[in-house]
Amino acid sequence: MATTTIAKALNAGLRRAMEADAKVILCGEDIGKLGGVFRITEGLQKDFGEERVMDSPLAESGIVGTAIGMALRGYRPVVEIQFDGFVYPAFDHIVSQVAKMRSRALGHVQLPMVIRIPVGGGIGAVEHHSESNEAYFAHTAGLRVVAISNPADAYWLIQEAIAADDPVVFYEPKRRYWDKGELDETHRGVPPMSQASVVRTGSDVTVACYGPMVKTCLQAAQAAAEEGTSLEVIDLRSLSPLDLDTVAASVERTGRLVTVHEASGFLGIGAEVAAQVQQRCFYSLEAPVIRVTGYDVPYPPSRIEEDFLPDLDRVLDAVDRSLTY
């Protein structure tokens, strides 16, 4: 089993998908010769040619609109939105066409496409480069929304997303691109795309998180264990549909739930998880569900972004509050 980064695992997963199916085409700004801002597509244009790895104009609406046409013609386009905050010019295409085409055609027309979005903060970027906009798309019926957190999921889930007949919004945590983890390219060893994963077992409090917050929550679990508190950490992975069965089964054992994400709290993914767990696990809960999120303000300048992002201390404070009930 090799050790690699999330970035290299994504590159390897894209390469394998392109080798397996000539209909897989990549499109995005600077993804060809440059290999993308984060070098996720590095070397792919050289090996597969400019007709399959295409540098696009600086126009997200055009990128996604072209991909819709490709998908209608039988291709499986994978488009890169260079930064999360750049997706909004393509928002109309995604929510009005991509999400609704299959339903509009009564299932006779499919749009098998993947929209890759580097997500979240923590890289010291300027305005519009550090958004967490996953709730917009998770709210939209007809879209699958996935958030990866480790190299193994990066490698296998990008291939599963490309092979799916549903459109997939695929979130990649940009500040974790260079984090390393184990990856066995010969054996999948990870759950399906729609299933949450228990990444650390525990008995006192369930912590549900995804994307860049998984590492933070695992660090919090380690710190809590040193003080005698056992946290069970669940990586949601799929934000739409949500795998509430895994979360509920955990909460029924621990009696407590803390949800964690970088996005602002109001109407975030954590609110949906909290509502559904409260409904399903009411008689098992020993304390209210507590949310740890970014603040309900526009993403701040980079010099103070660490005050905005949930950190180990904020997660541990929520755990302490849950245990005091």
Dump pLDDT digits (tens) for 107-128. Answer: 999 999 999 999 999 999 999 9
Mean pLDDT of 284-290: 97
Instruction: Check whether 10 has a pLDDT greater than 90.
Output: yes
User: Looking at the domain assignment, is residue 147 inside a domain?
Assistant: yes
| Pair (170, 217) in one structural domain | no
Instruction: Check whether 22 has a pLDDT greater than 90.
Output: yes
Instruction: Check whether 204 has a pLDDT greater than 90.
Output: yes
| Pair (65, 205) in one structural domain | no
Taking Cα atoms as reference points, which of 238, 244, 242, 240 lies closest to residue 257? 244
How crowded is residue 138: how many other Cβ atoms within 10 Å of its Cβ?
21
Taking Cα atoms as reference points, which of 6, 5, 4, 24 lies closest to residue 16? 24
CA angle 180, 112, 143 (to 5 degrees): 75
| Pair (46, 156) in one structural domain | yes
Strand partners, 205: 231
**Rounded Cα gap, residues 124 and 305, in angstroms:** 8
Mean pLDDT of 91-115: 96
Q: Residue 151: phi, psi to the nearest 5?
A: -60, -40
In the chain, the percentage of residues whose pLDDT exceeds 90 is 98
Return the pLDDT at 1: 82
Instruction: Check whether 55 has a pLDDT greater than 90.
Output: yes
Q: Which domain holds residue 297?
A: 197-323
Mean pLDDT of 146-152: 98
User: Looking at the domain assignment, is residue 206 inside a domain?
Assistant: yes
DSSP letter string over 24-81?
EEEEETT-SSS--TT-TTTTHHHHH-TTTEEEPPS-HHHHHHHHHHHHHTT-EEEEE-
| Pair (14, 132) in one structural domain | yes
Instruction: Check whether 159 has a pLDDT greater than 90.
Output: yes
| Pair (264, 294) in one structural domain | yes
| CATH number reported for the structural domain that contains residue 141 in this entry | 3.40.50.970
- Which of 128, 129, 139, 261 is catalytic? The answer is 129
Total structural domains in the chain?
2
Q: What is the mean pLDDT of the chain?
A: 97
Active site residue 129: yes
CA angle 29, 30, 36 (to 5 degrees): 105
DSSP letter string over 135-163?
HHHHTSTT-EEEE--SHHHHHHHHHHHHH
| Pair (227, 125) in one structural domain | no
Residue in this structure with the two tokens 């006192």, named with its chain if needed: 204
pLDDT-based confidence at residue 86 (cuts at 50, 70, 90): very high
| CATH number reported for the structural domain that contains residue 225 in this entry | 3.40.50.920
| Pair (155, 215) in one structural domain | no
Mean pLDDT of 13-26: 98
Instruction: Check whether 30 has a pLDDT greater than 90.
Output: yes
pTM: predicted TM-score of the whole model, two decimal places: 0.96
Residues in the chain, total:
325
User: Looking at the domain assignment, is residue 191 inside a domain?
Assistant: no
